[in-house]
């Protein structure tokens, strides 16, 4: 493999325990999740190495083979090269990737690149943490929820990365374990702006709000809300369960793209033509002294 001239190297790593029961689907979801950081920079995945923790004394090797097959299929869908990896014996199965990607050093996005006036586009609905908890708890309809999780979490953020490159966007991040609200706070603080999130414009996965109302928020989501709440200005009258969803810990979530107003229509058209369920969910405002980094209205 020769490194493309004029490009810069970016690297990222991510792995976790299963969020679905099917090992092939788990492999695909874990790989898509690990690749997302590269797309959030406007980069393109180049090579990926497997990271495996596997209980060889408890599960048949056919399970591991299916996980790796799923990861390989997603890496190849991304246009990257599967490049081996490393495995260890472990009491609990875990899988992910160490990913190398390429970016144009003069044309990439970061969490420091949001500007006042930018509109915020979310490229996937949220609620994967709640649905994964429902699947693990074998709630009624869990098979359908697992199908929905695979459809959402297994989808690459490839189109979002392409939008960043083609429109020259400078501010973006992917939505994962900190939840939408947590990652928006990280984005706001790094860019020194205030972000306004319109809660009712945020798309939710079908059934997620119902599961949350039954108390099926994962521990990570509860920790997110507790940790980030002091940094949030909350509008009066918001439904508390719906509000909690803004901090639901996501697996392979979408991207938040900060888009100058004059480019919003083009960005939305590009995403919609690719079948991405994108939504305008907020805007960036100048940071004022004493204001929290995130306002949820």
- pLDDT of 162 above 70: yes
- Separation in Å, CA 120 to CA 28, 33, 164, 238, 269: 28, 21, 13, 20, 15
Cβ-proximal residues to 96 (8 Å cutoff; 6+ apart), any chain: 13, 14, 15, 16, 30, 31, 33, 34, 51
pLDDT score, position 1: 66
Average pLDDT on 151-166 reads 98
Structure tokens at 2: 């020769």
Percent of the chain residues topping a pLDDT of 90: 96
Q: How confident is the model at residue 193 (pLDDT cuts 50, 70, 90)?
A: very high
User: What phi and psi, each to the nearest 5 degrees, are found at residue 8?
Assistant: -110, 150
Task: Look at strands 44-54 and 81-89 and give their pairing.
Answer: parallel
Eight-state DSSP code of residue 80: -
Structure tokens at 83: 């490049």
Q: How confident is the model at residue 190 (pLDDT cuts 50, 70, 90)?
A: very high
The Cα 279–Cα 104 span in angstroms is 27
Contact between 174 and 254 (Cβ < 8 Å): yes
State the Cα angle at 163 between 157 and 166, rounded to 5°: 140
Eight-state DSSP code of residue 138: T
Average pLDDT on 141-160 reads 96
Nearest to 282 by CA among 213, 162, 199: 199
pTM of the model: 0.95
The full set of domains in the chain, from first to last, is 1-108 (3.30.1330.10), 110-297 (3.90.650.10)
The Cα 69–Cα 274 span in angstroms is 25
Nearest to 257 by CA among 148, 136, 118: 118
Nearest to 28 by CA among 60, 91, 92, 76: 76
pLDDT score, position 3: 76
Structure tokens at 214: 């039954």
Average pLDDT for the chain: 97
Contact between 219 and 177 (Cβ < 8 Å): no
Eight-state DSSP code of residue 229: G
Q: Burial of 49 by CB count in 10 Å (0-12 exposed, 13-18 middle, 19+ buried)?
A: middle
State the Cα angle at 187 between 119 and 218, rounded to 5°: 105
């Amino acid at each position: 493999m020769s490194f493309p001239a004029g490009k810069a190297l970016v690297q990222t790593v991510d792995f976790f325990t299963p969020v679905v029961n099917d090992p092939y689907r788990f492999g695909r979801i874990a790989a898509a999740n690990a690749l997302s950081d590269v797309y959030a920079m406007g980069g393109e995945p180049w090579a990926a190495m497997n990271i495996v923790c596997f209980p060889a004394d408890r599960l048949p090797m056919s399970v591991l083979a299916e996980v790796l097959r799923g990861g390989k299929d997603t890496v190849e869908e991304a246009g990257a090269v599967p490049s081996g990896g490393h495995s260890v014996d472990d009491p609990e199965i875990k899988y992910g990737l160490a990913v190398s990607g390429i970016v144009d050093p003069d044309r990439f996005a970061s969490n420091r690149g949001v500007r006042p006036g930018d509109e915020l586009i979310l490229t996937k609905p949220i609620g994967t943490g709640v649905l994964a908890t429902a699947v693990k708890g074998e709630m009624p309809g869990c098979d359908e929820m697992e199908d929905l999780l695979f459809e959402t979490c297994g989808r690459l953020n490839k189109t979002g990365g392409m939008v960043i490159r083609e429109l020259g966007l400078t501010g973006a991040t992917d939505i994962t374990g900190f939840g939408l609200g947590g990652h928006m706070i990280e984005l706001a603080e790094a860019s020194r702006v205030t972000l306004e999130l319109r809660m009712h414009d945020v798309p939710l996965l079908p059934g997620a709000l119902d599961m949350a109302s039954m108390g099926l928020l994962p521990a990570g989501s509860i920790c997110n809300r507790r940790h980030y709440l002091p940094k949030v200005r909350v509008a009066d009258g918001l439904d508390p369960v719906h509000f909690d969803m803004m901090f639901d810990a996501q697996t392979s979530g979408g991207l938040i793209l900060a888009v100058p107003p004059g480019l919003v229509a083009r960005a939305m058209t590009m995403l919609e033509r690719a079948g991405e369920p994108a939504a305008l969910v907020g805007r960036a405002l100048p940071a004022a002294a004493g204001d929290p980094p995130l306002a949820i209205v």
